[in-house]
Copies of this chain bind each other. A is one copy, B any other.
């Protein structure tokens, strides 16, 4: 068995990239805001070079907008773009889910059950929102993981990050939240039954409802920072 590589191989660049990505997805920057590089330098206590490298990566990834000679901006929240992101999520995650159901093996079933269980426990422990986010992302990743297409997974990941920018700013919607949480379990059930059609339909509905929650980012949500 191969020895697991040292996790410690991290550069300042990569660390700050991860941190900034999280902070951008979680709405810790005002949408549309100009990102003053020197203020980030102070805020995260890093040098210019690794910081700029991280910003360049984030711009290529789509979480920042880069304008030559004018630095970086946080993308605006835009209703049409949210529609686009949600629509693409439906298409791509539906596709990925069907394939995953066709290809996933017994090990996948186990991991899926585990991921769903962890998420369910987090649903009921409302104290740690960040932990819930982590497990939620992980559940959705696990669901589509064996779809067989690395590029499809990559795109889905990217869309999730974009989508979450909106969702995390939206006001809480406890009733919808309860439905969404329940759907996670139903998705697992349909996946285990290998009901691709049913699962895809449910995923579609799941994303649609999430989208409706995320739409809230345009009303009250924007102001509650």
Contact = CB atoms under 8 A, between A and B. Distances in A.
A95 interface: yes
Contact of A53 (B11, B14, B52): B52
Contact of A49 (B49, B62, B88): B49
A57 to B, nearest CB: 4
Of A11, A58, A148, A150, which is in contact with the most chain B CB atoms at under 10 Å from its CB? A150
Of A49, A60, A152, which is in contact with the most chain B CB atoms at under 10 Å from its CB? A60
Contacts of A91: 95
B69 A11 contact: yes
A110 B131 CA distance: 53
Contacts of A81: 150
Contacts of A148: 84
Q: Nearest 6 pairs between A and B by C-beta?
A: A60-B60, A57-B60, A9-B68, A53-B56, A56-B56, A11-B68
